[in-house]
Chains A and B, each alone.
Chain A
Amino acid sequence: MFVNKKNILIFSLIVLFSSFSTIIPAQNNNTAEMSITFNIPAVALIDFVMDGIQTITYTYSSSNPNQVEQIITPTIGDKTWLNYSSIVISNLTNYITAHISSGNLPADVSLNVLVSSDVGAGDGITGTSIGQITLSRFPQNIITDIGSCYTGRGIHKGHQLTYIWENPESYNYNINYENTNPVAVTYTITSTE
């Protein structure tokens, strides 16, 4: 019994000391913690910049029954630049497709677009151009493997787009064709997610 009392005393002393040692660092409150949250949302922005007005007119003249003439004005349209900004989730990429979204091409005539490489006015992982494609109503890839990057904004930045008309050898000039509607080409940037 006496031994137990002694033990209790020792135990109480230990508790007392340990509570002292807890209090001492708490009083030394010379640091303060805080948390910061960063958020990097995925980004896919695309836009055109045009150097003047991009109008390519395709006509033909058959006033003389023995002679027809194609008139393409200008011969190529290369005044458009494609600018984009992209932030991707790790291991994903963005890509850009092109398709004819409204209007009709003259019969037997096709419209190609040549997509240049990025001219390097921006930073990061800009995309890889597929080169030249024949535009259709179905979206086709023109620039792939776009990582986190920006091309810069304005002409001579990003990828230059060059439109080229193509007439097959078999073009039948006897088809009467009238179309004054413009043809719209839509470019879309999408994630591989």
Chain B
Amino acid sequence: MKRTVLIFILLVWSLLLSTNARAQEFVAGDEITIVISAYALIETNYAPVSLSFTPSTAGAAITSVSNSDLFVKISSTVPGGTDREVTARISSGTVPTGTTLTLVSAACTTTNSGGVLGTPVATPITLSAIDQDLVQFIATCYTGTGYNDGYQMTFTWIPDIAATNYGQIDSYSYNITVVFTLSAHDGN
């Protein structure tokens, strides 16, 4: 008799357990949270940029030199209603005395890109140690990852105010480092 009672109790208990297990399954599928983090990735195509003045006519001034080999690639997501900028500055070295280096971005290439790729600033910036905008109003987008994908950058090197500074130009080789930044979105 005692044994029968024990078996009964065990049966009820196991029944309860199996009910509990079902109840747990129900709860487990309830909430799904998808997180899209805001992110900002920037990279160049590592094109070497080398600029050289090569005057060829006696009596003539050295003329401007340009290089458009560099492309800047980005990936960006932003919270709704916010945007980012691509900025550039000189982080080390200085542009040779008597000369000026300007930089302007083209609109992003369209082949492999998508999203809100922003608007390039039309007027070339004169590079300095302070960040200046090259492309504005970038929201969620990607430029593509190919060598010639992204924002094509045109560097132009010119003698600056010749009347006062031409005599300061020294024959030499110089190196500078330029840093491109994909800024934090303006909702930050």
Contact = CB atoms under 8 A, between A and B. Distances in A.
B35 to A, nearest CB: 14
Interface stretch (A27-35, A70-78, A108-116, A171-179): A27-35
Contacts of A150: 55, 59-62, 166
A16 interface: no
Given A34-B49, A148-B98, A85 B55 contact: yes
Interface in A77-131: 83-85, 87-90, 122-125
Contacts of B48: 35, 37
Contacts of B56: 45
A21 B157 CA distance: 41
B163 A123 contact: yes
Nearest to A151: B59
Contacts of B169: 40, 87, 124, 148
Interface residues of B, number: 52
B101 interface: yes
Interface in B41-56: 41-44, 46, 48-56
Nearest to B164: A123
Contact of A45 (B46, B55, B175): B55
Interface string A150-178: 11111001100000000000000000000
Nearest to A91: B170
A36 B51 contact: yes
3 A-B pairs closest in CB distance: A83-B59, A153-B59, A47-B58
30 contacts: A29-B41, A29-B43, A30-B42, A31-B180, A33-B179, A33-B180, A34-B46, A35-B177, A36-B178, A38-B51, A38-B52, A38-B95, A38-B173, A39-B51, A40-B52, A40-B171, A42-B171, A43-B53, A45-B56, A49-B59, A85-B59, A87-B62, A89-B170, A123-B162, A148-B98, A148-B168, A148-B171, A150-B55, A150-B62, A153-B60
